[in-house]
Structure 1
Amino acid sequence: MTYGSIVHDPAGRLDTHLPLDREPNERLAAVVLDWRQDEHLPPQADIEQTALQLTGYARLLVHEVRTKAAALPRDGHASAVAARTLAQITATEADRRLSAPPLPTRHSLRAAQSRARLVSALHCALDRILAAVPASVPGP
């Protein structure tokens, strides 16, 4: 699997062309969630750029979650049904949150942390889907 760069893509035009780059975005989300208002924070522009980065990545994740969930067998075990249901709920909530206008500048830390939590939730849904994919049976 090759990895690409994630860019701010509010129109969602690139979601089918860029592969996921999970590890750096997981680390970025973890760092953002550790930021505290009363501690030394990065410059405001960096916080805003981080929120944009996580927003673009979250849009890619929503597409990936929906694609993988649609590929699960309809007559599968309960784990596949549960994974598909969780994916649908998570993707719908993600769409709702991503469609909201950005918060004013003074709330950029909250916006970035909200996006980081969304990325974490989407990763959980994706992991659950991938765990529910039936193992292929080797041929003769």
Structure 2
Amino acid sequence: MPPPVPPVPAAHAPRVRPPAWLLLVFSATVLVVMWVLLSLYTGRQHAWMALVAGLDVAWVLRFGGWRRGIGRAALAAAATAAVAAAAQWGIIAGHIGSQMGLAPFESSLKLGLHHAWFMATLANDPLDWSLMGLGLLLAFLASR
């Protein structure tokens, strides 16, 4: 019979980390919700949030354990683009849904791709588009 193994003290216990992809999904979801709520509350697009999203995604990927390189940088840019697209979708759905008596989530399920693109081109000026593009570039460069 082997001798019993003594319990590991709490200070030396192995740390359990959540999977890196779960951190990325949680962070992106929080960013989208913050961006949509800020825009619906103030009535403005707040495209500068793409810069915040780019830095946050780069930070999450870096400290989440993703390996350095072009893959992490491309994933950061893609995640930032997904956050910006989801936020624009939510903002548009929120504005349209409020006019029809629907909640933003209900309206987002009914919104079509062509209508969303049309409304996004009307709502965003060149500065907004450039800030969103700069957010992608910032995410790419900050996560290399």
Greater CA radius of gyration, 1 or 2?
2
Structure-2-length-normalised TM-score: 0.31
TM-score scaled by length of structure 1: 0.32
